Amino acid sequence: MVDTGQDLAAQEMADLDVASGDRRVRRRRTVLWPAELFVRGYRFKCQVLNMSLQGARIRLDLPIAEGTEATLSVLGRSPLAVRICWAEVDSLGLEFQVPSDTVRRIFLDRMAVLGLDELS
């Protein structure tokens, strides 16, 4: 298998996560996708900043409590059940509440571009 620049960038991102003390096993991919977060009957426009098969970071200038259950809708794709796992001033960490295979199926047309097709 030939190492591509994309593979190198992915490894650098994984190395950065380890160096910064981030203990997540799954690699994330930087994206910039419009999305909507549905929380308790309210709809908030947001942007997905990065994602993995297990979760995503979104930009949202609204404090939502950790542990809150919500639904994320990205680019008109099937909605994903999520749980807020951390919150910062302008972003939230989301954990998908569906199996990785479901996330893979929803984003199937983007898997190779994101480099997530090789991840379990």
Domains of the chain: 28-114 (2.40.10.220)
Q: How many CA atoms lie within 13 A of 51 on its CB side?
A: 27
pLDDT for 9 beyond 60: no
Report residue 38's pLDDT band, with 50, 70 and 90 as the boundaries: very high
pLDDT in tens, 49-97: 999 999 999 999 998 999 999 999 998 899 999 999 999 999 999 999 9
How far CA 5 is from CA of 2, 9, 29, 70, in Å, comes to 10, 6, 14, 36
pTM, entire model: 0.76
| Amino acid 71: pLDDT | 98
pLDDT for 1 beyond 90: no
Contacts of 94 (CB under 8 A, 6+ apart): 55, 56, 57, 58, 70, 72, 82, 83, 84, 85
**Residue (of 50, 106, 41, 52) closest to 78 by Cα position:** 106
